[in-house]
């Protein structure tokens, strides 16, 4: 079996950046990812990524892909990691399509959307219930829709929908919205949004497609007739496939400032970790750090000198 210097699990901002750095270090590495771009591809208005006053998530991910394509990278797209285990000095990664070994691994698998957990959600998933406004908003042109959540992700989805939907109900279980003030101001100014705070979701209903949603505000239940429901209540770390590393109470992989886990040779970067700021630019920096530290680890543990890059930059 081919022994890689490094395997990177995930190809979001952290994983792609780690890949670019690993390529520049001339490491023999493999990237495994279910998709390219991760949650960054779901964002719409990105106004805080250095070098761009404004860029959409899909556009930024395309820039990342173009940068990565400048290198000869072995990428297994559409492949899902199912386990990561270390025995002696070798890390073994199993996927739904194969098995690989490496001296080091960077887990950069990101996060997955959190579900509401209410009646009708699973039954009507992809039939009006969606977790990606960037992907699915155009399907609901001219319709009344609901966005569930009050953070930046929910407001981002809402702002996208103001250009497409007829009316938008923004529903948040907390007493106040938690998104950035500038996003709330933009949403309010649109005139298309009806805000519901301190409101719970009872159920989603419909025959073949979503027809409406029942909500509870105080002691009063309301029925909102909508054709689409965008669930934007946060996410959970996609780290269930790796069980030996230490995690916090939220399931995030615990790392130090060098992206090291409790297992030597296994590193983690980006939103899958306990690093507090879940931002694209932070994930990129963490991915760069992880690749540099993995390279240094290989040097310390017998990395072949002939593969080292002449300019260490």
Of 45, 72, 96, 132, which residue is the catalytic one? 132
Answer yes or no: 132 catalytic.
Answer: yes
User: Which residue, among 34, 73, 107, has the nearest Cα to 283 in the 3D structure?
Assistant: 107
Of 35, 45, 136, 144, which residue is the catalytic one? 136
66 in Cβ contact with 78 (< 8 Å): no
Answer yes or no: 156 catalytic.
Answer: no
Helix axes 152-161, 181-190, angle to 10 degrees: 30
User: What's the CA angle centered on 275, arms 273 and 278, to 5 degrees?
Assistant: 90
| CA–CA gap between residue 195 and residue 220 (Å, rounded) | 16
196 in Cβ contact with 169 (< 8 Å): yes
| CA–CA gap between residue 211 and residue 208 (Å, rounded) | 9
Helix axes 13-24, 280-300, angle to 10 degrees: 40
Please, is 156 exposed, middle or buried when counting C-beta atoms within 10 Å of its C-beta (0-12, 13-18, 19+)? buried
Beta pairing, strands 29-33 & 74-77: parallel
- Hey, CA dihedral for 151, 63, 58, 51, is it positive or negative? positive
Residue given tokens 């269930």 in the structure block: 240
Of 5, 35, 72, 135, which residue is the catalytic one? 135
60 in Cβ contact with 52 (< 8 Å): yes
Answer yes or no: 284 catalytic.
Answer: no
Element holding 29 (H helix, E strand)? strand 29-33
Residues serving a catalytic function are 132, 135-136
């Amino acid at each position: 079996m081919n022994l890689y210097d490094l395997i990177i699990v995930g190809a979001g901002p952290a994983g792609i950046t780690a890949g670019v750095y690993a390529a520049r270090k001339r490491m023999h590495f493999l990237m495994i990812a279910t998709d390219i771009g991760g949650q960054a591809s779901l964002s719409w208005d990105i106004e805080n990524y250095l070098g761009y006053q404004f860029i959409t998530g899909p556009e930024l991910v395309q820039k990342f892909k173009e940068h990565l394509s400048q290198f000869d990278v072995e990428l297994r797209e559409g492949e899902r990691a199912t386990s990561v285990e270390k025995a002696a000095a070798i890390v073994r990664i199993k996927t739904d399509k194969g098995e690989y070994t490496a001296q080091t691994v960077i887990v950069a698998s990101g996060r997955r959307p959190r579900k509401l957990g209410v009646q009708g959600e699973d039954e009507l998933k992809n039939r009006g219930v969606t977790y990606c406004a960037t992907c699915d908003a155009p399907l609901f042109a001219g319709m009344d829709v609901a966005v569930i959540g009050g953070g930046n992700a929910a407001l981002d989805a809402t702002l996208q929908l103001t250009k497409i939907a007829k009316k938008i109900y923004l529903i948040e279980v907390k007493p106040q919205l938690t998104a950035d003030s500038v996003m709330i101001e933009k949403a309010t100014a649109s005139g298309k949004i009806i805000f519901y705070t301190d409101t719970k979701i009872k159920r989603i209903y419909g025959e073949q497609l979503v027809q409406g949603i029942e909500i509870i505000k105080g002691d009063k239940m309301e029925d909102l007739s909508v054709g689409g429901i965008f669930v934007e209540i946060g996410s959970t770390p996609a780290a269930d496939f790796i069980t030996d590393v230490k995690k916090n109470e939220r399931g995030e992989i615990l790392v130090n400032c060098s992206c090291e886990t409790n297992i030597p040779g296994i590193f983690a970067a980006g939103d899958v970790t306990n690093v507090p700021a879940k931002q694209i630019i932070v994930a990129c920096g963490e991915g760069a750090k992880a690749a540099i530290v993995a390279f240094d680890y290989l040097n310390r543990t017998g990395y072949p000198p002939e593969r080292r890059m002449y300019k260490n930059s």
